[in-house]
Amino acid sequence: MTARTRYLLDEERIPTAWYNLAADLPAPLPPVLHPGTGQPIGPTDLEPLFPMALIAQEVSAERDIDIPEPVREVYRSWRPTPLIRAHRLEKHLDTPARIYYKYEGVSPSGSHKPNTAVPQAFYNKEAGVARITTETGAGQWGSALSYAGALFDLAIKVFMVRVSFEQKPYRKALMQSFGAECVPSPSSETEVGRRILADDPDTTGSLGIAISEAVELAAGRADTKYALGSVLNHVLLHQTVVGLEAMEQLAIAGDEPDVVVGCTGGGSNFAGLVFPFLGAQLRGGKNIDVLACEPAACPSLTRGTYAYDFGDTGHLTPLVKMHTLGSGFVPPGFHAGGLRYHGMAPMVSHLLELGLIRAQAFHQTGCFEAGLTFARTEGILPAPEANHAVRGAIDEALACKRDGTSKVILFNLCGHGYFDMAAYDEYLAGKLQDRDYDQAALDRALAALPAVAGE
């Protein structure tokens, strides 16, 4: 092997601006609508939930948005992250493809999530906010925001989907280690929570419910705002440091990607890697094949409807146009908790509609199999979410082998699996099964989509 294994950048090379894909889109995003009036909402409608700086980013059409120096200062703790050439995986697969992965698991909470948790905490602190509420499923986002809260001296309250709270006590312990408060959702602390608990005291909870609780609490208190870990434009924007660094690192490697792969739950790690490359393509650069890998048990991009829907179960959020399985859809239990969301980021949904990306759904056992192959060659055990991207990248590399083509494949290894060992334990014991969603429940959830005039 003469080519390098890890492409590192010094901290001076952390991007100075995030990249905003909205500036280069061939068609604008459909507007966000007020659920009562059906009219587009304005920035002030979002003010109870977010500081104005983040709202401005949410609606901005500027291409480059400066990263504040205090945020870059924190990024230095783990950024730039390494771009790694998967020499051993290539050899194991006996593929002519060249495989690179951007490894975001080196961050304080082990995934890409701190890329947006840190600026969100910064802008909230700047705006005089004392406390941030949020939801978390698998716990990746909750622990990232807990970390950011510790740095900017903000109180963090995390509503964690009850089934995860009980099954993953160690993620909770990590959030508490960073000084945050973590409560199981639904809780008795909100009206939404109390209503749902009254209906079903044994409910496992869901991401949609936890969002409703966090939003309700933030909307009701002047010193408290809300933070979301994916889906929204400003969250995806913050993640573009991933792709911007990867472009520079691939240039050092002397390669350009033919295929770019990411897993999609809400869409943020996918967007972070992909948007800068797609932007270059839209400005006249090389055409790339972009693959979104989603779970077959919660397939919003491949089986959802592109329609206006609520972001939460309690219907407290505005309406956004996205690929959705319906806000009432509850996916079956599977081990990539970070991908168990009924909707998809509007920006990612828009790209699929425009034909700029493609999507494929994967069952979990095939993803875990890919994850073990990766661990035994590359030495990193991926998070179950990331295994979807690993599966997608391996399948692309095997297609290259069949076709005798030597493509450059780039994927986002968005997090490590050290907090997900129970899932690996189950898989290794042969106890893990593929679970399909309930078609009748999906049909019901889609039939209940809100009616929007003119749609």
Residues in contact with a second copy by the rule CB under 8 A: 1, 4-6, 8, 10-11, 73, 76-78, 84, 88, 106-108, 110, 114, 147, 150-151, 169-170, 172-174, 176-179, 372, 375-381, 418-419, 421-422, 424-425, 428
Cβ neighbours of 176 (radius 10 Å): 14
- C-beta of 151 vs 237, nearer to a second copy: 151
Shortest distance in whole angstroms from residue 68 CB to a second copy: 14
- C-beta of 102 vs 323, nearer to a second copy: 102
- Cα atoms in the 13 Å half-sphere on the side-chain side of 51: 19
What does each C-alpha distance from 141 to 138, 172, 211, 252, 300 come to in angstroms? 8, 11, 12, 31, 20
Report the distance separating Cα 272 and Cα 33, nearest Å.
Answer: 25
- C-beta of 8 vs 448, nearer to a second copy: 8
- C-beta of 80 vs 346, nearer to a second copy: 80
Shortest distance in whole angstroms from residue 414 CB to a second copy: 16
Q: Which residues contact 336 (CB under 8 A, 6 or more apart)?
A: 138, 263, 265, 295, 364, 367, 383, 384, 385, 387, 388
Report the distance separating Cα 288 and Cα 258, nearest Å.
Answer: 5
Report the distance separating Cα 298 and Cα 321, nearest Å.
Answer: 18
- C-beta of 310 vs 374, nearer to a second copy: 374
Is 22:233 a contact under the CB 8 Å cutoff? yes
Shortest distance in whole angstroms from residue 206 CB to a second copy: 24
Please tell me what DSSP assigns to residue 24.
G
Shortest distance in whole angstroms from residue 370 CB to a second copy: 13
Q: What is the distance of C-alpha 227 from the center of its chain?
A: 13
- C-beta of 72 vs 388, nearer to a second copy: 72
Shortest distance in whole angstroms from residue 77 CB to a second copy: 5
Cβ neighbours of 263 (radius 10 Å): 33
In degrees rounded to 5, what are phi and psi of residue 18?
-80, 155
In degrees rounded to 5, what are phi and psi of residue 303?
-125, -5
- C-beta of 168 vs 340, nearer to a second copy: 168
Q: Which residues contact 23 (CB under 8 A, 6 or more apart)?
A: 61, 62, 63, 279
What does each C-alpha distance from 316 to 183, 210, 231, 309 come to in angstroms? 20, 11, 16, 11
Shortest distance in whole angstroms from residue 227 CB to a second copy: 18
- C-beta of 143 vs 300, nearer to a second copy: 143
- C-beta of 110 vs 229, nearer to a second copy: 110
Shortest distance in whole angstroms from residue 76 CB to a second copy: 4
- C-beta of 170 vs 189, nearer to a second copy: 170
User: Given its phi and psi angles, is residue 263 left (phi above 0), alpha (psi -120 to 50 degrees) or beta?
Assistant: beta
Three-class secondary structure of residue 104 per DSSP:
coil
Shortest distance in whole angstroms from residue 315 CB to a second copy: 35
Shortest distance in whole angstroms from residue 308 CB to a second copy: 39
Shortest distance in whole angstroms from residue 407 CB to a second copy: 23
Report the distance separating Cα 432 and Cα 412, nearest Å.
Answer: 25
Is 388:263 a contact under the CB 8 Å cutoff? yes
